[in-house]
Structure 1
Amino acid sequence: MTKHISKTELLQRMQTGYEQFTTLLAPLSEQQLSTPGVNGKWSVKDNIAHLTVWQKYLVGVLTAIYNKETTFPNPTPGMSEDEENELYYQKNKDRSAADILNDFTTTYQQTRAAVERLSEEQLNMPLEQWKGNPVWPNIAGNTFEHFQEHGQNIQKWLASR
């Protein structure tokens, strides 16, 4: 993995990933968005809600970095990632697809704004909290890389139907 990334490149990769993912979602019907089984019991909208939750977490972290705080928000202390994912699945599974899509769009805009606020130096600085890894790979992992991962799950599911 590259140790340094320009802010411009990071923002471009985020935008490209977002556009590719939303292009995949655009033609889907309410039924396609809400049918379980994409990955496990999750529907397409459950995948979108999952992506939104992790971006919201990221916005909190980036805000803390911008404010030069030494601790990051942790809404689920002591929980494993699997436990967190199940918790958020349960919280979001009964929401409408339209509500989840709107939340995803708004949260992506907030995430992008949080990245834009940071300097290139902040994006590339190593953090103790992440074993000395820089900030930007966590941004990648919660935006364009995450969109691609779940987009591939959705594409496979659509192709199998």
Structure 2
Amino acid sequence: MTEQIAKTELLRRMQDGYEQFTALLATLSEEQLTTPHVNGKWSIKDNIAHLSAWQKRVIAVLAAIHNKETTLPNPTPGLSEDEINELYYQANKERSLSDIQNEFATVYQQIKGAVELLSEEELNMPLPQWKDQPVWPNIAGNTFEHYQEHTQIIQNWLASQQV
């Protein structure tokens, strides 16, 4: 069984992860943020849009849990993770850097607020739709763990530019 987490600990990890990721982004130029092929065809801007898109999915799920809905939203049924990522990339690739950055800040506040609305019991309850995994690992995987994954991608790309 997956470990339990205190809501305060989850929120702390989310905040720490967000601050570390945005601190990295703040050191980068607009050119660095918009240069393609950081990972695949994506720029750092595309990575940021990707993070926001996945957090929006979690926000919808958390709202459903908060509202005691029995069916959790899935805006992309039947699509693989790679197909979903491509869909989000196509939807966001032409958006401006400032729009993507503003959305990321807004969506982070929304996911933080959605977590704050849930009880510790709700965060730790197993969901049949997720093979009885609790809610919180999905939040972690789409916030601080996801930020760390993309921090590593960005750092690897930056290191490759130094050669």
Q: Where on the TM-score scale, by shorter chain, does this alignment land: which range?
A: over 0.9
TM-score, normalising length from structure 2? 0.96
Query: What's 2:87 paired with?
Result: 87
Which residue does 2:32 correspond to in 1?
32
- The structural deviation recorded for 1:18 is 0.2
TM-score (norm 1): 0.98
CA positional deviation for 1:2: 5.1
In structure 2, what residue type is equivalent to 1:146?
H
Count of aligned positions:
161
Find the counterpart in structure 2 of residue 8 from structure 1: 8
> What is the CA-CA distance between 1:75 and the residue it aligns to?
1.2
Partner of 1:141: 141
User: For residue 41 of structure 1, what is the aligned residue in structure 2?
Assistant: 41
Separation in 2, partners of 1:2, 1:156? 31
Gap runs ≥5 in structure 1 = none
% identical aligned pairs: 73
Q: Is residue 2:51 matched to residue 1:51? A: yes
Deviation string 1:116-150 (CA, Å, 9 cap, x unpaired) is: 00000000001101111111000000000000001
Does 1:68 find its partner at 2:68? yes
| Runs of at least 4 residues off by over 4 Å | none
Letter in 2 for 1:24: L
Question: Conserved in 1, the CA contact under 8 Å of 2:2 and 2:134?
Answer: no
* Matches of 1:117 and 1:133, distance apart in 2: 20
Aligned partner of 1:50: which letter?
H
Structure 2 unaligned spans of 5+: none
Whether contact under 8 Å (2:21, 2:151) holds in the other structure is yes
Q: Secondary structure at the match of 2:133?
A: coil
C-alpha displacement of 1:72: 1.2
Deviation by residue 1:35-78 (Cα, 9 ceiling, x = unmatched): 01111100000000000000000000000000011111111121
The aligned residue for residue 126 of structure 2 is 126
